Amino acid sequence: MIAELITRSEPTLSFEFFPPKDETGEVVLWRSFDSLLELSPDFVSVTYGAGGSNQSKSLAVLGKMASRIPTIGHLTCVGATFASTRATISSFEDAGVAAILAIRGDAPKENPGALEQGELKTALELVQQVTEHSDMEVGVAAFPEIHPESADLAHDIKVLKFKQDAGAKYAFTQLFFKVDAYIDLVDAARKAGVTIPIVPGVMPISNAKGVLRMAELSGAEVPAELVAELHAATDDELARDIGMTYSIKFAKELLAAGAPGLHIFSLNHHRAAEELARGAFSRLSR
């Protein structure tokens, strides 16, 4: 279902959400979800914490969203057993989830050794579990600026090809801020025989300090000139304007470069996500 949407002629619009931690977050999530649904996105995705730490909440959110729009559930393997993974896949099916995004995930801060404790160690093994034990579509992650544990782009592309051969139907990129990084990733992938669509994940820069912190943690390189402009901004609102202007330009350039769609990281807030979507897609302009 998702693969069919992504491979159509018109670029797709989608949003990522995460399960709320408390009642206040729950209100914010559903208010944002309702607002962004007014843009008629093609699908949404829902994350869950390392080791499935908030999996029950994730499943509740997944089921509610899946009743209204095609929804992708994230699946990680940190600390997971084969049995628990198959149980989660079954739960996704029961919740009406349209597809799975199989990612290795990071170990939780309170248990840094979790990566070594589970039976599954890689996203590739997750893809194999999904394809062997269900009929659900499965997507994977791609890395425009190289996975932190990878030696080079060639290795990342080799892994992506393995995932495709195991049954992955599409890929979503991690956080990044340079169009050339996406173009280089896609070019290298195509030369290596990777044919699945690669959808860029885009973060609206509405909170400059927060986004720069996330970029640092993820290893994503922010253009030096943008960093200088953000640091020179005299107040938060000016920094927001600078960041959102860059984000919209970035998104438009990705679509112009042939991206099959945009997957916008909403952070459960609708204002910036909607602004980015409207700025990037002419069909949404008022």
The pLDDT value recorded for residue 163 is 97
16 is catalytic: yes
The pLDDT value recorded for residue 111 is 46
236-256 vs 208-218: helix crossing angle, rounded to 10: 50
CA distance 209 to 220: 14
The pLDDT value recorded for residue 137 is 96
Q: What is the DSSP string of 200-212?
A: PEE---SSHHHHH
Average pLDDT estimate for 221-248: 93
Average pLDDT estimate for 192-199: 97
Average pLDDT estimate for 151-164: 92
The pLDDT value recorded for residue 249 is 97
At residue 265 the predicted structure's pLDDT band, cuts being 50, 70 and 90, is very high
DSSP secondary structure code for residue 112 in this structure: T
- pLDDT tens per residue, range 126-149: 999 999 999 999 999 999 987 777
Average pLDDT estimate for 237-246: 95
Query: With 80 as the cut, is the pLDDT of residue 251 above it?
Result: yes
Which letter, b or e, does each residue of 132-146 get, where b requires 16 or more Cβ atoms within 10 Å of its Cβ?
eeeebbbbbbbbbbb
- pLDDT tens per residue, range 88-121: 999 999 999 999 999 976 545 554 444 556 677 7
The pLDDT value recorded for residue 225 is 93
3-class secondary-structure state, position 137: strand
Q: Which two tokens stand for residue 163?
A: 């995932």
Between 48 and 91, name the one with better pLDDT. 91
CA distance 130 to 137: 8
The pLDDT value recorded for residue 76 is 86
Phi, psi of 95 (to 5 degrees): -80, -5
CA neighbours closer than 13 Å in the CB half-sphere of residue 162: 13
Q: Which domains does the chain have, with CATH numbers?
A: 2-284 (3.20.20.220)
Question: 21: which residues sit within 8 A by CB, 6+ positions away?
Answer: 54
- Enclosing H/E stretch for 139: strand 137-142
CA distance 37 to 33: 6
Which of 34-38, 150-154, 258-262 is least confident? 150-154
At residue 49 the predicted structure's pLDDT band, cuts being 50, 70 and 90, is low
Query: With 60 as the cut, is the pLDDT of residue 286 above it?
Result: no
The pLDDT value recorded for residue 112 is 47
Q: Are 270 and 21 in contact (CB under 8 A)?
A: no
Average pLDDT estimate for 11-33: 95
The pLDDT value recorded for residue 115 is 55
The one catalytic residue among 4, 16, 253, 275: 16
Average pLDDT estimate for 51-77: 85
The pLDDT value recorded for residue 102 is 94
Between 239 and 148, name the one with better pLDDT. 239
Between 243 and 121, name the one with better pLDDT. 243
The pLDDT value recorded for residue 266 is 97
The pLDDT value recorded for residue 53 is 53
